[in-house]
Amino acid sequence: MRHTFEHIVDWFIPQSAHLERSDLSVTRNFVLTHVFGPLMSQSMCVFLYRTDPDPGFPCYTVIACVCLFWTLPFVLKYTQSIKLAAFLSVEMLAFTALFGTYHYGGASSPCLPWLIIALLLGFFYFSEQQMLIVGLFALNVTVFFVAYLSTGFPQIVPVADLAIVSWISIVSATLYMSWMAIYYSHVMSMRSQIEKETERYLAANEQLQIVKELADAANRAKSVFLAKMSHELRTPLNAVIGYSELILENIPPGSDATKQKDVRSINAAGRHLLSLVVDVLDLSKIEAETIELNVETFDLGHLLEQVVATVKPLADANGNALTVQQLTPFGTMHTDQTKLRQILVNLLSNASKFTRNGSVTLSVRMDRKPTGTWLDVRVRDTGIGISQTDIGRLFQNFRQVSAATAQQYGGTGLGLALSQKLCTLMGGSIGVTSELEKGSVFSFCIPAEVAEPQPDVASDHALAPAALLPTARLPSALVPAALGVQF
């Protein structure tokens, strides 16, 4: 029964009022008071009709005004404006109270208490527009006094005969105001609870902000520390690599093969460790915003030859065919050659590492657009591929697709993270499409000419035009969280 009643009440409420809990409560109360309020006033209407010796315009006007209150829920429904419906309600109640006071009893009229109720309702519904209610009541009262000064109060019904209806009016007004007082108390209680919850939320938010600032400061300090360790870490590694090469040169031909193998292992391990240190330091510099672009003009074809020569041994070791597709003439580029080489080596090394007895294809083209010339690079392999559920873990610092992959293939999980940040640093973007057991396509595009360094490496607004990566770009919602993994 209660559910049915609430459904009937909600039929009058516009959908916009359902969005806010407080608005819904006020609107429901408005509908209820304008359904039961006129019922409470019908006893007065009946009494006036029976008391008036010659019911005429004044009596029928009061009865009509009381009945018109039942139309206001429909006004609310079809105008979808609680403010308009409430304004009409307050004005009608003030008019009815003053009109009834003027014709039935003057200062002793049973209608006069409803003028006070109208005033209180006006401030309830228009608490933020108090001057509007004051002006409205001032206008109504002014018209009332002008009418009184002009003609005085007509004696339609003797004041003594209005005593009973006065008590009926007082009881009805008291019940109505009790209803509104209980509702207002409920609203204030709800607001008090909301304010307490808001205060607790703000206090917790302040604490979280402080903790976040401390964590950010610690992270920046870590990044700055690692960035400053570049010389201290690289110097001994360069010494290990240099002396191992010197020892290899001084080992006589045909001497102990085991000794040569051991020295070559030392040299290879040193170079591998140096590459890892360089990746970590570069990533730390980017996060500390201390890395800068070393812009220079160079021949792209010559750079690609160097990259292929570097990666080819790894591809050959896994039985892969490494192919370069020149889709357009290369020409020259004006950007950071070292960082571009780093991106290419990372992508080709990953493709070669995760492909066995397959193919790795490097496709390169210079795409000339109205916005400038862009380098569009795609690295396609026929390797193990990546499932759609695992793609979300790509491009995250120190993360690999799975623990099994990390155990089987090794790696630090920095290659793609660094590549993504370097692409953004140079004003471009990187993306991937892949299918499990069928291979992957990693694509990136960067401007062929960089006028000056872009310090905001974390910005997502420097992405290349979408037309450059029609199939391989990550969805925009994944780009901020997708910071790569070196396989």
Q: What is the pLDDT of residue 461?
A: 36
Q: What is the pLDDT of residue 479?
A: 31
Q: How far apart are CA 54 and CA 31, in angstroms?
A: 34
Structure token digits, residue 384:
């193990």
Residue 298 vs residues 301, 303, 305, 340, 398: alpha-carbon distances, Å: 9, 8, 13, 11, 32
Structure token digits, residue 234:
């690289």
Q: How far apart are CA 294 and CA 426, in angstroms?
A: 10
- What is the chain's length? 487
Q: How far apart are CA 420 and CA 39, in angstroms?
A: 72
Structure token digits, residue 421:
């940040």
State the first-to-last Cα distance of the chain, in angstroms, to the nearest integer: 64
Q: Specify burial of residue 426 (Cβ count, 10 A radius: 0-12, 13-18, 19+).
A: buried
Residue ranges covered by each domain of the chain = 2-199, 230-287, 295-468
Question: How many C-beta atoms surround the C-beta of residue 363 within 10 A?
Answer: 16
Tell me which architecture the domain covering 295-468 has in CATH: 2-Layer Sandwich (3.30)
Q: What is the pLDDT of residue 288?
A: 59
With CA atoms as reference, report the closest residue to 156 among 41, 39, 42, 62: 62
pTM: 0.46
Phi, psi of 398, deg, nearest 5: 60, 30
Q: Determine contact, residues 431/473, Cβ cutoff 8 Å.
A: yes
Q: Determine contact, residues 340/333, Cβ cutoff 8 Å.
A: yes
Q: What is the DSSP letter of 295?
A: E
Q: Is the dihedral of CA 301, 305, 306, 310 positive or negative?
A: positive
Q: What is the pLDDT of residue 362?
A: 94
Task: State the SS3 of 452-476.
Answer: CCCCCCCCCCCCCCHHHCCCCCCCC
Q: Specify burial of residue 312 (Cβ count, 10 A radius: 0-12, 13-18, 19+).
A: middle
Q: How far apart are CA 195 and CA 192, in angstroms?
A: 5
Give the HSE-up count for residue 129: Cα atoms under 13 Å, Cβ half-sphere.
Answer: 11
Characterize the bridge pairing of strands 429-435 and 439-447: antiparallel
Phi, psi of 57, deg, nearest 5: -55, -45
Q: What is the pLDDT of residue 469?
A: 33
Q: How far apart are CA 333 and CA 295, in angstroms?
A: 10
Q: What is the pLDDT of residue 451?
A: 64
Mean pLDDT per 10-residue section of the chain, whose length is 487 residues:
69 64 75 82 81 86 90 88 89 90 84 86 84 90 89 82 81 82 75 78 89 84 69 78 85 76 80 74 66 86 89 89 91 90 89 91 90 91 85 66 51 73 89 88 90 46 34 32 31
